């Protein structure tokens, strides 16, 4: 569906993207993560034909992407800004865009989208009066209108409560499951279900792909009252990877879930005063950033 091949983008004299390669196949959801200023929004804007590349290619359904390209007929997007008219109601905004799409992009999905994104009860509310989360869901609905083959979203979970995030995640997975593709950016790693989403990170203008080789382990940090070295030796003998830090802090990695690791810690009689857990995705991202520094 989407192919990005050795893409480089310059904004003025600054090279923002450097030889980026990315594939988003049909039926897949890809989450793009990275620090502020890493180039996530620039990549999305280039995929949507809003920025010209310095080198490399971007294609959708085999068609070259650029300003005014015919390939953009197969792309729906919600990027910077809301994309709706604040004085028009939710339904009027949807209908206005529906009229613009033309018969080739129309499908009987207007009411379906409003229902799926929990906007039906707000259809008569001016868009400018919506809460941040409801406005975000309206922008997503408008991007999905006409069911484009490629859906591109900049931080679709921003401003949503946990229920809203879960609802949007379900809608996006269902959308991809119908043979389409989704590419979105995420600011918080906790927003991503890495078991069902392909994850890539932009680090210093380059893409790094997440491979979930470490998903069968979990790490906890435990601060003990005394005898950190003795506890470390006991836990290591039980198969855990243990590092002793300052102030009698142990960092413990063992196979299984965080709960399994905590049970292992409790099993050796460790009296923990503080616990911090991290997901495989968080550890991978931290390691990717540190390798590129």
Degrees (nearest 5) of the Cα angle 280, 282, 288?
Answer: 100
Residue linked to tokens 């180039």? 39
pLDDT at 213: 41
Q: How far is it, in rounded angstroms, from Cα 236 to Cα 231?
A: 8
Q: What are phi and psi of 261, to 5 degrees?
A: -65, -40
pLDDT tens figures, 173-230: 999 999 999 999 987 776 676 667 888 888 877 888 776 444 445 566 777 666 778 7
Q: How far is it, in rounded angstroms, from Cα 53 to Cα 59?
A: 12
Q: How far is it, in rounded angstroms, from Cα 104 to Cα 149?
A: 13
pLDDT tens figures, 242-281: 888 777 777 777 665 556 666 777 777 765 555 555 666 6
Smallest CA-to-CA distance from 180 within 74, 105, 62, 98 is with 74
What is the 3-class SS of 108-139, one letter each residue? CCHHHHHHHCCCHHHCCCEHHHCCHHHHHHHH
- Mean pLDDT is lowest, of 66-70, 130-134, 167-171, 256-260, for 256-260
**Cβ atoms 145, 98 nearer than 8 A:** yes
């Amino acid at each position: 569906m989407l192919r990005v091949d050795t893409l480089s983008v310059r904004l003025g004299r600054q090279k923002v993207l450097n030889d980026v390669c990315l594939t988003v196949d049909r039926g897949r959801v890809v989450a793009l993560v990275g620090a502020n200023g890493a180039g996530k929004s620039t990549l999305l804007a280039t995929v949507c034909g809003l920025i010209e590349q310095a080198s490399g290619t971007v294609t959708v359904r085999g068609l070259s992407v650029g300003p005014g390209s015919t390939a953009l007929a197969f792309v729906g997007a919600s990027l910077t800004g809301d994309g709706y008219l604040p004085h028009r109601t939710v339904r009027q905004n949807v209908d206005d865009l529906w009229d613009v799409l033309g018969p080739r992009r129309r499908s009987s999905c207007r009411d379906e989208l409003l229902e799926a994104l929990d906007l039906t009860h707000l259809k008569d509310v001016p868009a400018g009066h919506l809460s941040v989360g409801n406005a975000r869901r309206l922008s997503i609905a408008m991007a999905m209108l006409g069911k484009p083959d490629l859906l591109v979203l900049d931080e679709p979970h921003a401003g949503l409560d946990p229920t809203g995030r879960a609802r949007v995640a379900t809608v996006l997975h269902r959308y991809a499951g119908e043979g389409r593709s989704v590419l979105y950016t995420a600011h918080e790693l906790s927003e991503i279900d890495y078991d069902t989403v392909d994850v890539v990170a932009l680090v210093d203008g380059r893409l790094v792909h997440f491979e979930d080789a470490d998903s069968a382990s979990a790490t906890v940090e435990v601060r003990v009252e005394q005898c950190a070295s003795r506890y470390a030796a006991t836990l290591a003998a039980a198969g855990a990877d243990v590092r002793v830090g300052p102030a009698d802090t142990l960092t413990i990695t063992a196979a299984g879930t965080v709960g399994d690791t905590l049970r292992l810690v409790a099993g050796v009689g460790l009296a923990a005063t503080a616990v911090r857990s991290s997901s495989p995705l968080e550890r991978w991202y931290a390691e990717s950033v540190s390798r590129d520094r």
